[in-house]
Amino acid sequence: MTALSVSTSSAASLRADALVIGVAKGPKGIVLAPGAEAVSEAFEGKLAEVLSTLGATGAEGETVKVPSPAGLKAALVLAVGLGEAADGGYGLEALRRAAGVAARALAGCKKAALALALPAESADEVEAVALGGLLGSYAFGTYKGNGNGKEPVGELVLLAARKGSKDAKAAVERALVVGEEMNRARDLVNTAPNDLNPKGFAAIAQAAGKEHGLKVEVLDEKALLKGGFGGLLGVGNGSVNPPRLVKVAYTHPKAKATLAFVGKGITYDSGGISLKPAGHNETMKCDMAGAAAVFAAVVAAKRLGLAVNVTAWLALAENMPSGSATRPGDVLKMYGGTTVEVLNTDAEGRLVLADAIVRAGEEKPDVIVDVATLTGAMVLALGNRTFGVMANNDELRETLHTVAGEVGEQSWPMPLPAELRKGMTESTIADLANMGERMGGGLVAGLFLKEFVAEGIDWAHLDVAGPAFHEGAPFGYTPKGGTASAVRTLVRFAEQTAAGSKA
């Protein structure tokens, strides 16, 4: 794990493998961002000219490396693009992305000094640079042989004028917690499905609970059968790896509100009897990204000491075809008694979530938020970088959309049209069908989940099918593979809830 520290040393005097500065696109060429003054002086005021000669434009994500001249202790200067120059400072997301690009570009360095748009004018900017650097330095090397690939940056040093201030210290500590928990979620998503089944995921949750003082309860297949969790059992019937329902609870003695985060945890999704075609199943280890996100969020809440109760419910199963698998046409009796006719076994996420939502509702939380890689329809609607937000409460939906934007996650509020419910309620043999109209499939899935929310509980659904797993080239602080989508949104929502409870 990359280490993180803050220093008030000047950029010129700090000993490091590399020194990072920010540059931007100005109306007349490249512009040096705040924090580059000492570096420019070492270049006798000609740093911008040198970078321009090397082709730098200041475009977002661009990097240019220059050997350091006499006067700098660092061996290398890395200029990273921030995009368009801004008189009023650079946005937090621009800082996160630039720091992430820099950290990835410096893979293999033992120590890199980040002087990106710093000294920071605010604690928020310190946190943005710190978090972006930690996320950008992420690398999943579990299955790589020795010497295959560069090691992540060993240490990131933020050059700031606020060292020693309470706000700056808290900002760095928060960035460290959120970054480490996001990387925990990324590791889970990237782990091969033969190494992460429901039982294994549950064991990881138990270990984290022991380490951080969280209460963890695991329902195995026998307990699920006894309790009547028909959705989890129905989805897991076809696999030799039986399902689990895991509760990870954090309580605070001064909490006045309780949040329940429910995560879809299909550790591998073949589609079941409704088998996915070739080309659609190679990345289905990521179908547990929702469970990874809510798990990471509750651990982060504990580590940050938030004055709010947070419980994560991990609905874990493996969806496989076999002689014991649920068939299209079967009827499942869900936890709570609702019967569901299964028309498509590849619409399995809503089945395990339904069980978990009902169980979470029994504890009377103030809000339930579920997170799931639920539908391809949402990807078609919003693309690969934006998750959909649905809710039974308009204010909650807008709050989560706003919170996501504040922390740099792209989301979009989506409706739950009442007319789309009809297709699910027309089963002639069960209370509901797990499929409805084909058009608006992401909204239909949301409506299905809404059926299982207890009356009087505010509920929201985040469909992260697009951004949870990135198959393209890395960008900003986003790597190829698991991204930890929704973790930041959940943590900030918990923080706001805690702050509101104190008011």
| Catalytic (active-site) positions | 276, 350
- What is d(CA 4, CA 459) in angstroms, rounded to the nearest whole number? 37
Which of 303, 5, 14 shows the shortest CA–CA distance to 154? 5
Q: State both tokens at 208.
A: 């984290």
| Cβ-contact 441, 458 below 8 angstroms | no
- List the Cα angle 423/428/431 in 5-degree steps: 70
Give the CA dihedral 246, 200, 151, 148, nearest 10 degrees.
-150
Calpha distance 462→460 (Å, rounded) = 7
For residue 207, what is the DSSP state?
A: H
Contact between 397 and 458 under an 8 Å Cβ cutoff? The reply is no
Integer Cα distance of 175 and 5 in angstroms:
11
Residue 205 DSSP label: H
Q: Which residues touch 87 (CB under 8 Å, ≥6 apart)?
A: none
Q: Which residues of 330-355 are buried (b: 16+ CB within 10 A; e: fewer)?
A: bbbbbbbebebbbbebbbbbbbbbbb
Gyration radius of the chain over CA positions: 24
For residue 57, what is the DSSP state? -
Nearest CA-CA partner of 293 in 494, 497, 490? 490
Contact indicator for 490, 397 with CB cutoff of 8 Å: no
By CB neighbour count within 10 A (0-12 exposed, 13-18 middle, 19+ buried), where does 90 fall? buried
Q: What angle do CA 201, 207, 208 make, to 5 degrees?
A: 90
Q: Is residue 496 within a helix (H) or strand (E), and if so which, with residue range? A: helix 487-502
CA distance 314 to 243: 10
Q: At what angle do helices 123-136 and 166-190 cross, to 10 degrees?
A: 30
